[in-house]
Structures are given as structure tokens and as C-alpha cells.
Amino acid sequence: MNGDLHNHLYFFCIALIWIVFLGWLFIPAIRKGLPVKRVSSWYVKKSFLVFFLAIIVIIAVTNLYPGSLILRIIPDSDAAGVAGIALTLLGLSFSAWARIHLGKYWSSMVMIKEGHQLIKTGPYQYVRNPMYTGMLCAFFGAVIAIGLALAFLVFGIAALSVWVKITAEEEILKETFGEEYAQYKREVKRIIPFII
């Protein structure tokens, strides 16, 4: 089987896993949830900044180094494709576990809902932001399967975007839960268990 076809099949599998995950995540969220107590406007502003920064970086790299974004960093191989699928499954499973533990407090936006409680069970025992840990792991799986410089650049932008959202969420959690959250921060790493 030709290398490009291999690459397309692996990427198709990864995309399908993401579609199933996002459908599972967002379709139930269409129903009306708990009333919102507070939304972070800081996050919305920073998100737009990251988006425009990403566009500028991609345009700059394309103009300064033509063709560089289509350079292959990881060889197109079955090993890369299988590793990509495995990391995607592992990462999104971890995110799903986190979503289940968040229950009615989950939201795609940075907000606090009425009666919000600080969740410290399940994957939240190991990292404070397990949904993002899992999603970054899954994104990296796609990067490995694609193997191009562009994929690595997009991963860097996605990681920056996630970092901005985590910072906004932690700010609103600190304001809402005070010392309880401060203690949790001291005990549990932010995104990589036992490391960061």
C-alpha cells in the first residue's frame, strides 16, 4: 500500500475517533444545564489574541521559509500511524473520564455554575486539568500520524490556546473556592502527573 494512502487511512481513523468523542461531549450539552453564576471575559479576550497570533505565525513562516511547513518530520510509516491512533484513544479516554467526573459542572466555556463544587476525584486526583491533558495527548497522536512540520506548529498553537484557557479557569476557580483551591493546587500538578 502506498505511503500517502497509509497516512490518509490513519488520519481518517484519528478524525473518526475525534468526531465520536466531540459528539459524545457536545450533543448532551445542548440541553439546558445548571444556571451560570459567573463567566470569564478574560478568557474570551485572550482567545482572540491567540487566534490572531496563530494566523500571523503561520503567514510569517510560510513567507520566510516557503515549503517548510510541508517538510516531513516523522517518516510516514505504520508505526507512526498506529502510535497516533493509540495516543488519540488513550488521550480522549482520559478526557472522557474527566468529563464523567465533572458531570453537571462541565462547560466548554470558562464559567462557574450555581452550586458549583470543586471536583477532586477520578483523574482530578492526578492532574488539575485532565480534560486538557487527554486532549493534548490526542492532538499529539494526530501530529505523529501526520508527521509534517505544519502539524507540529499547529500543535504548539493548540498547546498555547489550552494554556490560556487553563490560566483563565484556574483564576476563576481560585476566586470561587479560595483556600480549598489553593491547597488543591499545592497537592496536584497542573497538566502532567507528578511533573507540571
User: How does pLDDT run across 26-49, given as a tens digit for each residue?
Assistant: 776 666 555 455 455 555 566 666
State the Cα angle at 190 between 52 and 156, rounded to 5°.
Answer: 30
3-class secondary-structure state, position 51: helix
Given this model, what pLDDT does residue 193 score?
75
Helix (H, G, I), strand (E, B) or coil at 6: helix
Mean pLDDT over 161-184 rounds to 88
What average pLDDT does the chain have?
82
And the C-alpha cell for 127?
492532574
Provide the percentage of residues in the chain whose pLDDT is more than 90.
34
Q: How confident is the model at residue 66 (pLDDT cuts 50, 70, 90)?
A: confident
Tell me phi and psi for residue 77, to 5 degrees.
-150, 165
**For the chain, what are the domain ranges?**
40-106+116-187
pLDDT given for residue 1 in this prediction:
46
Q: Please tell me the distance from the alpha carbon of residue 185 to that of residue 181, in angstroms, as a whole number.
A: 6
* pLDDT of residue 167 exceeding 80: yes
Q: Which residues of 187-196 are buried (b: 16+ CB within 10 A; e: fewer)?
A: ebebbeeeee
The lowest-confidence range among 51-60, 116-125, 151-160 is 51-60
pLDDT of residue 35: 46
pLDDT above 70 coverage of the chain, percent:
78
What pLDDT sits at residue 87? 97
pLDDT score for 36: 52
Question: Could you tell me if 51 and 43 are in contact, meaning their C-beta atoms sit under 8 angstroms apart?
Answer: no
Residues contacting 67, CB < 8 A, separation 6+: none
Q: Return the pLDDT at 71.
A: 83
Buried residues in 155-177 as b, exposed as e (16+ CB within 10 A): bebbeebbbbbbebbbebbeeeb
C-alpha–C-alpha distance, residues 144 and 158, integer Å: 15
- CA 50 to CA 154: how far, in whole Å? 12
Confidence label for 137 from pLDDT (cuts 50, 70 and 90):
very high
Lowest mean pLDDT: which of 15-24, 104-113, 127-136, 182-191? 104-113
Query: Grid coordinates in use for 74?
Result: 516523522
Q: How confident is the model at residue 130 (pLDDT cuts 50, 70, 90)?
A: very high
| pLDDT of res. 44 | 55
Q: What is the C-alpha end-to-end distance of the chain, expressed in Å?
A: 41
Q: Please report, for residues 100, 106, 113, 114, 188, the alpha-carbon distance to residue 118 in angstroms, rounded to integers and kept in the order given.
A: 14, 11, 11, 12, 13
